A and B are shown apart, each in its own frame.
Chain A
């Protein structure tokens, strides 16, 4: 039996970052992963391949629609196999990169399906069915999540696909219905809309992207609608039937009323994700999950001695960077250090065009909590860099405490805002006030000036709009 300080089950952003950190701290660590490659959902069938397609499809869309206005006349032709190969190559290089990091940090990569087998034991079944048992002083559950199913809509990864299948469609569908107006649905719907599909998004709630600041969400919906995406909100999907031509979807209004049938070549089911905690042997250490399958923790410690849980299997936003932060904190706590995650400052991004990036509290949350706040807002139409790029969609909104001026939340929608939210994450981590950002020099001409102008707006001295 192999003896380890730490055995991590799952090689996604939580698992692999935890393994690397453990290696750095001199712990003997193994990472159990059932996929053939490391990186988990994020790297193999999630964040990374979707961003590859988002980037490529955005350039294609730009070339078709925007280039002429900039004085470039082209007639772009889509080569989907090359686009898919480019995506696969990038994913391959990145997963190989983690293998390298494992070697560098002396992490043992155990290939196979890992499950708990009593206190301090992890049982791994490899592809051939052979079972090995690892002994560990600490076990970290980082098995992540999978797409949530919907009754009446069976995913066959052909006509009806989930977030994995939608990344490898062999041809651009003529029409695509996306069930769920969350981050995944809007991003992947955008990909295929740009490549030529007619995309309809059906959402149960009466708004898109629940949890996102309402004003920001509405702006995003307007932008996506203008680009040709159709939204059907407050609509409940009750069933799907495969036909010779594609899929027939039964949809009825949540508020009541006559049902209707929508038809499309393909359907993307993207109503959310659920934790992967079944078949993990939790019962062998006396652990249970809540009704939805989540493992609850106290500072990442589960109720079972020596068993920890991080990432999507724990409650909270299902985001790679949340898992990564928890992984570092968890391993540091295991090593007797002061690991800590600031759950108030986990940024969220939607990689549509325009992008959405947020951190901290929304206006709705502040109102509900009875916190008096001030708002500073700056539109990208007034930003010189966005202007010359013909990318005036969106705004930056800064929410700050009415009394102390401390920044409480930042919500942006616009081109490349995903790369700009980090500035506010750092500022807020250091309890900065809006004035601190307003009095910090920003380079001109950049979109980042909008961050500063919005901060100025909190105390009413925005200068450029």
Chain B
């Protein structure tokens, strides 16, 4: 008998929903055959049979929430019929006994994160009907401390008050930032309103964006880039490039190239804060934001510094396809060191992107628009794009941020620089 476990779901993902069982209890299964599909905040996961046998038990029905390491079901060896009988009996047994919620940590509210809560936090969350998933932990590795949980109650009860009481202001400084809680009590929808539960992906996006804003000292610097040269380059070579490499020559590859060169020039943009230390990364794994039907995801082009332009374009194309097919794996999404977001594809002229924590920089690309610009004393029409770099001012100083953006601008305006690495 082999347990079918929920696989590791990846960083910052703590639970998944059982989307669909491909097999019923009692079905014979072959090794590597699809058993069950899980959905997380970010991706769909497929769990396959570890060996030939019979699916004897299903522990987590469709729609159930599971955490990493939790048993989904069991596969037994042998012929179907006998195992099925056993399975039915086994499945029936638990229903006869009432659930014993105090027996295990997993009996925490379904919204609890994957890590078991500290005993004090568990009590406070249960007694006050808090959603642990909405409390930001100030403890080691983001664990929720009792202080965080108490502050969450307070934040909920004083939420309508515009300013904190003077007594609270005089209290010793808290070790953690004040937690964010969903302060609004449920209210009945107006007749011309619709209340819709946020999807997991939307909830995660919401939480992570807010975390980034709360943690980083974020600000944005702008520049603009004349796209004449790269457009000419593309027009001249796009057919030859596609013929030779089997992938289209886009602007994104050139921007990735330009960013890698600029990151090497200004290493702090490729760094992250860890406690009292800075971690400088000598690897360049660039996240490229991709819009999908379910929301925005940011798959990562690994070792972008070691890839040729065609290699980058192929990697982006492959990740984009996977994203649209909903086939991204956790590995595809993790460990980026810098992010590029292109709001231009939707027509955005100017924006201030939000950091993808714990990264310290994100480049915003925008719509290419013909604009009159002054050149050698003449007004000429040029295809222009605004560039935005949002950065964490704790890590990157203003000079570094501006230098970074100027480097990107120079490389795009004269792509020969990328060839010469100057």
Interface residues of A (CB under 8 A from B): 299, 338, 340, 369-372, 401, 403-406, 429-433, 435-436, 439-440
Judge if B421 is at the interface, Cβ distance under 8 Å. Answer: no
How far does the alpha carbon of A158 sit from the alpha carbon of B133 in the complex, in Å?
67
How far does the alpha carbon of A357 sit from the alpha carbon of B138 in the complex, in Å?
27
Judge if B171 is at the interface, Cβ distance under 8 Å. Answer: yes
A338 touches B279 (CB 8 A): yes
A433 touches B123 (CB 8 A): no
Q: What are 24 residue pairs bridging A and B, where the CB atoms are less than 8 Å apart in the complex?
A: A338-B275, A340-B275, A340-B276, A340-B277, A370-B172, A403-B147, A403-B150, A404-B145, A406-B145, A406-B146, A406-B175, A430-B139, A430-B140, A431-B139, A431-B143, A431-B175, A432-B118, A432-B145, A433-B118, A433-B145, A436-B119, A436-B120, A439-B123, A440-B119
How far does the alpha carbon of A439 sit from the alpha carbon of B126 in the complex, in Å?
15
Known: A433-B146, A436-B120. 8 other contacts (CB 8 A): A405-B146, A406-B175, A431-B147, A433-B120, A435-B119, A435-B146, A436-B118, A436-B146
Judge if B174 is at the interface, Cβ distance under 8 Å. Answer: yes
B143 touches A338 (CB 8 A): no
B-side contacts of A371, CB under 8 Å: 172
Contact of B171 among A338, A369, A403, A431 (CB under 8 A): A403
How far does the alpha carbon of A369 sit from the alpha carbon of B276 in the complex, in Å?
23
A404 touches B275 (CB 8 A): no
Give the Cβ gap from B144 to chain A, nearest Cβ, in Å.
9
How far does the alpha carbon of A435 sit from the alpha carbon of B151 in the complex, in Å?
16
- Contact A405-B120, Cβ < 8 Å, known A340-B275, A435-B146: yes
Chain B residue at minimal CB-CB distance from A333 = B277
How far does the alpha carbon of A338 sit from the alpha carbon of B175 in the complex, in Å?
21
B-side contacts of A403, CB under 8 Å: 147, 150, 171-172
Judge if B274 is at the interface, Cβ distance under 8 Å. Answer: yes
A401 touches B140 (CB 8 A): no
A-side contacts of B120, CB under 8 Å: 405, 433, 435-436, 439
Chain B residue at minimal CB-CB distance from A366 = B172
Give the Cβ gap from A331 to chain B, nearest Cβ, in Å.
15
Chain A residue at minimal CB-CB distance from B278 = A338
Q: Which of B63-92 contact A (CB under 8 A)?
A: none
B-side contacts of A435, CB under 8 Å: 119-120, 123, 146
How far does the alpha carbon of A432 sit from the alpha carbon of B120 in the complex, in Å?
9
How far does the alpha carbon of A338 sit from the alpha carbon of B274 in the complex, in Å?
8
A-side contacts of B276, CB under 8 Å: 299, 340
How far does the alpha carbon of A401 sit from the alpha carbon of B151 in the complex, in Å?
13
How far does the alpha carbon of A160 sit from the alpha carbon of B275 in the complex, in Å?
48
- Contact A372-B171, Cβ < 8 Å, known A403-B150, A431-B138, A432-B145: yes
Q: Which of B139, B147, B172, B275 has the most CB of A within 10 A?
A: B172
A-side contacts of B277, CB under 8 Å: 299, 338, 340
Q: Which of B120, B145, B150, B276 has the most CB of A within 10 A?
A: B120
How far does the alpha carbon of A439 sit from the alpha carbon of B124 in the complex, in Å?
13
B147 touches A433 (CB 8 A): yes
Q: Which of B337-366 contact A (CB under 8 A)?
A: none
Contact of B174 among A338, A340, A404 (CB under 8 A): A404
Interface residues of B (CB under 8 A from A): 118-120, 123, 138-140, 143, 145-147, 150-151, 171-172, 174-175, 274-277, 279
A404 touches B150 (CB 8 A): yes
Chain B residue at minimal CB-CB distance from A441 = B119
Chain B residue at minimal CB-CB distance from A340 = B275
A430 touches B147 (CB 8 A): no
Contact of A439 among B119, B140, B172 (CB under 8 A): B119
B-side contacts of A433, CB under 8 Å: 118, 120, 145-147
Chain B residue at minimal CB-CB distance from A440 = B119
A-side contacts of B147, CB under 8 Å: 401, 403-406, 431, 433
Give the Cβ gap from B169 to chain A, nearest Cβ, in Å.
12
Give the Cβ gap from A244 to chain B, nearest Cβ, in Å.
60
Q: Which of B119, B174, B175 has the most CB of A within 10 A?
A: B119
- Contact A430-B146, Cβ < 8 Å, known A371-B172, A436-B119: no
Give the Cβ gap from B74 to chain A, nearest Cβ, in Å.
31
A-side contacts of B123, CB under 8 Å: 435, 439
How far does the alpha carbon of A40 sit from the alpha carbon of B286 in the complex, in Å?
49
How far does the alpha carbon of A429 sit from the alpha carbon of B140 in the complex, in Å?
7
Q: Which of A299, A404, A406, A433 has the most CB of B within 10 A?
A: A404
B-side contacts of A369, CB under 8 Å: 172
How far does the alpha carbon of A268 sit from the alpha carbon of B375 in the complex, in Å?
86
A-side contacts of B140, CB under 8 Å: 429-431
B-side contacts of A439, CB under 8 Å: 119-120, 123
How far does the alpha carbon of A370 sit from the alpha carbon of B172 in the complex, in Å?
8
B-side contacts of A440, CB under 8 Å: 119
Chain A residue at minimal CB-CB distance from B274 = A338
Contact of B172 among A340, A401, A436 (CB under 8 A): A401
Give the Cβ gap from A291 to chain B, nearest Cβ, in Å.
28
How far does the alpha carbon of A223 sit from the alpha carbon of B138 in the complex, in Å?
41
How far does the alpha carbon of A339 sit from the alpha carbon of B279 in the complex, in Å?
11
Chain A residue at minimal CB-CB distance from B146 = A433
Give the Cβ gap from A406 to chain B, nearest Cβ, in Å.
5
How far does the alpha carbon of A142 sit from the alpha carbon of B350 in the complex, in Å?
56
A-side contacts of B275, CB under 8 Å: 338, 340
How far does the alpha carbon of A263 sit from the alpha carbon of B275 in the complex, in Å?
55
How far does the alpha carbon of A338 sit from the alpha carbon of B271 in the complex, in Å?
13
Chain A residue at minimal CB-CB distance from B118 = A436
Chain A residue at minimal CB-CB distance from B176 = A431
B-side contacts of A338, CB under 8 Å: 274-275, 277, 279
How far does the alpha carbon of A436 sit from the alpha carbon of B140 in the complex, in Å?
15
How far does the alpha carbon of A369 sit from the alpha carbon of B172 in the complex, in Å?
9
Give the Cβ gap from B223 to chain A, nearest Cβ, in Å.
33
Q: Which 10 pairs, one residue from A and one from B, show the smallest C-beta to C-beta distance?
A: A404-B147, A433-B146, A439-B119, A435-B120, A431-B139, A431-B145, A433-B120, A436-B118, A436-B120, A371-B172
Chain B residue at minimal CB-CB distance from A408 = B172
How far does the alpha carbon of A436 sit from the alpha carbon of B151 in the complex, in Å?
17
Give the Cβ gap from A157 to chain B, nearest Cβ, in Å.
44
Give the Cβ gap from B187 to chain A, nearest Cβ, in Å.
31
Chain B residue at minimal CB-CB distance from A430 = B140
- Contact A404-B139, Cβ < 8 Å, known A435-B123, A436-B118, A439-B123: no
B-side contacts of A429, CB under 8 Å: 140
Chain A residue at minimal CB-CB distance from B148 = A404
How far does the alpha carbon of A369 sit from the alpha carbon of B171 in the complex, in Å?
12
How far does the alpha carbon of A429 sit from the alpha carbon of B171 in the complex, in Å?
23
A-side contacts of B138, CB under 8 Å: 431
A-side contacts of B274, CB under 8 Å: 338
A-side contacts of B143, CB under 8 Å: 430-431
Give the Cβ gap from A402 to chain B, nearest Cβ, in Å.
9
How far does the alpha carbon of A371 sit from the alpha carbon of B174 in the complex, in Å?
11
How far does the alpha carbon of A430 sit from the alpha carbon of B151 in the complex, in Å?
18
A-side contacts of B172, CB under 8 Å: 369-372, 401, 403
